[in-house]
Amino acid sequence: MAANSYPNLSKDEVYLISRAEFEQQKVITSAFANRLFVSPKRSADVLDTLTRKGRLFQIQRGKYLVVPMKAPNQQWSPNEFVVAALWMGETPYYIGYYTMYQYWGFTEQIPQTIFVLNLQKSITKKIGDVMYEALKIDQKKYFGIQKIKIEDVDICISDKERTLVDFVYNPIGSFSRIEDVFKENLAEIDLDKLIRYLIKFPVVSVRKRAGYFLETIGCKKVILEKLRKSFARDETNIVLDPTNKSRKGKINKEWKIIDNR
């Protein structure tokens, strides 16, 4: 590939991107560049100038996403889910929270941040024009994950039932939206799986609120019995809506809920 085909790039810059594409590397590292150039300083300079020219996106220190050679400057952006997966690397993760609420249709609001729940780090980083927020979670909350494939990259996301659990735990909009989301999705989900996930989720208040909402919208008590038994020894009454400071409301003894809506 002739360097003069890309007049804004030097011979070394074209060589690095061409080799990355030839070896089918979506992500390149400083070590990759060091293999191509004799001088580590030269490889660092090439990586730096390509980043400034918009031909590489720095995912983290020493790790870059390659912009395809055929992509005109400023007219290409990477898939956000692919970037999240490449950013995490070998770290166990899943894309979740508000990102998945929109993906599964729980909200029409398009999130301004890609949320990546993982087992190692909490950090916010802007990659290209998109903000990514990594949130460290406990191992006990790492389940309910499915893989989808985008651009030949395996992406870990929370499945629909797990996303519902997260929605109860960390809802968007008014708290009453939880009941609406359950109503809208009840016919499309695996209810047994949802109940298994709720029982496994290590936050009792989530189980109580979800069970109360599910019974309110018409789920049979016999189906919810295992969920109810999972916190049978916990006698604490909790408010249905934690965003409402009032503890006044009708008490549901089965679910240990104070309906303070």
Cβ neighbours around 73 below 10 Å, total = 11
DSSP one-letter string for 189-240? S-HHHHHHHHHHSS-HHHHHHHHHHHHHTT--HHHHHHHHHTTTT----EES
The pTM of the full predicted model, rounded to 2 decimals, is: 0.87
Q: Which residue has the tokens 């087992």?
A: 119
Q: Is 67 helix (H, G, I), strand (E, B) or coil?
A: coil
The four Cα atoms 11, 14, 17, 18 give a dihedral, to 10 degrees, of: -100
Percent of the chain with pLDDT over 70: 96
Q: Are 155 and 84 in contact (CB under 8 A)?
A: yes
The token pair that represents 188 in the structure block = 């499309």
pLDDT of residue 6: 67
pLDDT in tens, 112-160: 999 999 999 999 999 888 999 999 999 999 999 999 999 889 999 999 9
pLDDT digit string (tens) for 187-239? 999 999 999 999 999 999 999 999 999 999 999 989 999 999 999 889 999 99
Would you state the pLDDT for residue 149? 96
Report residue 164: phi and psi, to 5°. -65, -40
Please name each of the domains of the chain with its CATH number: 3-66 (1.10.10), 80-158 (no CATH), 163-259 (no CATH)
